[in-house]
Amino acid sequence: MKHLLVILTFLYFVNTVSAQPVIKKPGKDPSAIINQPIRNAPGVTKYDFSDVKICIDKPLPTGNLPPRILPPVQRDPKINRDGSISKTSVSQQGLVSEASPYLWAPGETITVAMSTANSTDFIRGKVMQYAKIWELYANIRFAFVSQWSNAMIRVAFVPNHTSWSVTGRSVLLAPRDSATMNFGWFTNTTAETDFSSTITHEFGHVLGFLHEHQSPNSPLEWNLEKTYEYFRVTNNMSQERVNSQVINKFSSSYTNFSAFDRLSIMCYHFPAALLVNGGQDMPYNTQLSEMDKKYAGIWYPAFIPTPTQYGVITTNDDCDSISFKIEYDVVEKYQVEFNLSLGSMNGKKASWWKQIGIPLTNGTETYLEVLNNSLIPSENHTSSQQSIVFNFIDKTRGISFAKAKFLGIHTPLNLRWDLLSALRGGCRVTLQWNRETCQ
């Protein structure tokens, strides 16, 4: 469960969210580093934290944000019981209408520019790749542009072993020539898991998510001596600031939250050595958790929820009858799942070979086939399933149908079902061929 989402007053943010350091996975076991006291040399720190990387969130800029305009959202088309499609009206998005001004509007495009200093095409490509992971679950778009001063998010690559991001729409108040995000340890040889973990985390801050370790429901209990020493060495932080930005939990009066989510991308790895009695080592999360995905969709909804739609289509051939069920948001949002099976009507089972064809953008079709009554048992399968990347489906052409007719000849039917224009990523389409003759 999740998350600390930004619905705080501006004053609360400035006073309490100015910097939230988090331990990043080091090049070697962080517990070993923290537990390793340096020999009794005068004036030398008690623990060696030199190889640990951290994430720091910068203070929010001051000023008044422009109003957040919630755009109209197009409802999903209605699929009638006979399979025909009816357009629906546009509706005002209402789910997040009372949320913080620091949240973006659902459907908004956020422009991002990246500095070429201390970075390579490869590194910048990784930033684009993992930032866009959020687009699969939140109704938001990251558009990468070349002009620094015109971008809302400005990414630097200062090699200082810290990463940070300004939170939410407060980036709009930052000076136009300053960075709003930094990645401080990337090279061309950085591990893929490090790219994934760090970039996805920082762009979570852009959407308004805070560090999960300060959730009101966080179970973490800090070993104060080691925690104070760690942040003093790594970030020159006073005990007061460590209390405010690391140890103290956010007030439930100022944040939206649910049960603590150890697997959240917003919960960076903490070695057990920083916790009371060693505690429980926090996992090194490298991808969005299920709750990350859920809450991204809640606070940045793409569509008004659409109920499952049912009906029956006919092929205008031999009284064929095919029932359909269209479900929404039941599979990964980048794909559509198709299912075909043989059914029955009035006690009579459909049989022999049946096929549907899904048109693809490369001009071909991909097929689902079912068959029974074959003399070769291994050929019989009464159900078929296939998942297709939504962007690979040609929505301008309909689903095709074919079946075995006289003497078992595979015959295309005179039907193109214009369903695909009514679908979106995350749908499941289930077809059951129940009747094949008029008798």
| Res 11 pLDDT > 60 | no
Smallest Cα–Cα separation from 436: which of 381, 364, 371?
371
Please state, in angstroms and rounded to a whole number, the distance separating the CA atoms of residues 21 and 30. Answer: 15
Q: What's the pLDDT band for 388 if we cut at 50, 70, 90?
A: very high
- Indicate the CATH number of 5-299 among 3.40.640.10, 3.30.200.20, 2.60.120.260, 3.40.390.10: 3.40.390.10
| Res 393 pLDDT > 70 | yes
Query: What integer pLDDT is reported at residue 71 of this predicted model?
Result: 58
**Which of the two residues, 65 and 395, has the higher pLDDT score?**
395
**Residue 327 CB-half CA count within 13 A:** 11
Looking at 219-356, list the stretches that DSSP marks H as alpha helix, in order from N- to C-terminal side.
Answer: 224-235, 239-242, 290-299
Beta-carbon count within 10 A of 184 CB: 20
| Res 277 pLDDT > 70 | no
pLDDT tens track for 280-290: 666 778 899 98
| 19-33, 66-80, 155-169, range with the lowest pLDDT | 19-33
Q: What's the pLDDT band for 30 if we cut at 50, 70, 90?
A: very low
**Average of pLDDT values for 354-376?**
93
Smallest Cα–Cα separation from 298: which of 93, 84, 85, 18?
93
CA angle 232, 249, 247 (to 5 degrees): 20
**Residue 222 CB-half CA count within 13 A:** 20
- What global pTM score does this model have? 0.57
Q: List the end-to-end C-alpha distance of the chain, in Å, as a whole number.
A: 54
Query: What integer pLDDT is reported at residue 22 of this predicted model?
Result: 37
**Average of pLDDT values for 68-72?**
61
Query: What integer pLDDT is reported at residue 105 of this predicted model?
Result: 85
pLDDT tens track for 75-89: 778 899 999 998 765
* Helix, strand, coil percent values for the chain (each to nearest 5): 25, 25, 50
- Provide CB contacts within 8 A for 311, sequence distance 6+: 79, 80, 81, 82, 83, 323, 324
Q: Which residue has the tokens 């953008």?
A: 361
pLDDT tens track for 175-229: 889 999 999 999 999 999 999 999 999 999 999 887 766 666 777 788 888 888 8
Please state, in angstroms and rounded to a whole number, the distance separating the CA atoms of residues 265 and 254. Answer: 21
pLDDT tens track for 92-137: 443 332 346 788 988 888 999 999 999 999 999 999 999 999 999 9
| 63-67, 242-246, 254-258, 349-353, range with the lowest pLDDT | 254-258
Q: What's the pLDDT band for 12 if we cut at 50, 70, 90?
A: very low
**Average of pLDDT values for 35-63?**
52
Please state, in angstroms and rounded to a whole number, the distance separating the CA atoms of residues 114 and 102. Answer: 22
Smallest Cα–Cα separation from 72: which of 89, 60, 55?
89
Q: Please, which residues bridge with residue 245 across strands?
A: none
Query: What integer pLDDT is reported at residue 70 of this predicted model?
Result: 62
Query: What integer pLDDT is reported at residue 31 of this predicted model?
Result: 38
**Average of pLDDT values for 159-171?**
88
Q: Taking a C-beta distance cutoff of 8 angstroms, is the pair 293, 391 a contact?
A: no
Query: What integer pLDDT is reported at residue 246 of this predicted model?
Result: 75
What percent of the chain has pLDDT above 90?
Answer: 41
**Which of the two residues, 335 and 12, has the higher pLDDT score?**
335
| Res 389 pLDDT > 50 | yes
Q: What's the pLDDT band for 57 if we cut at 50, 70, 90?
A: low
CA separation (Å) from 116 to 156, 164, 179, 198? 8, 18, 13, 19
- List the chain domain ranges: 5-299, 309-435
Report DSSP letters for 93-131, one per residue. --TTTTS-TTSPPTT-EEEEEE--TT--HHHHHHHHHHH
| Res 316 pLDDT > 80 | yes
| Res 47 pLDDT > 70 | no
Query: What integer pLDDT is reported at residue 397 of this predicted model?
Result: 95
Query: What integer pLDDT is reported at residue 261 of this predicted model?
Result: 72
In angstroms, what is the C-alpha Rg of the chain? 27
Beta-carbon count within 10 A of 18 CB: 15
Biggest CA–CA distance in the chain, Å, is 98
Please state, in angstroms and rounded to a whole number, the distance separating the CA atoms of residues 435 and 439. Answer: 9
Cα-Cα-Cα-Cα dihedral sign, residues 294, 298, 302, 307: positive
Query: What integer pLDDT is reported at residue 265 of this predicted model?
Result: 84
**Which of the two residues, 12 and 362, has the higher pLDDT score?**
362
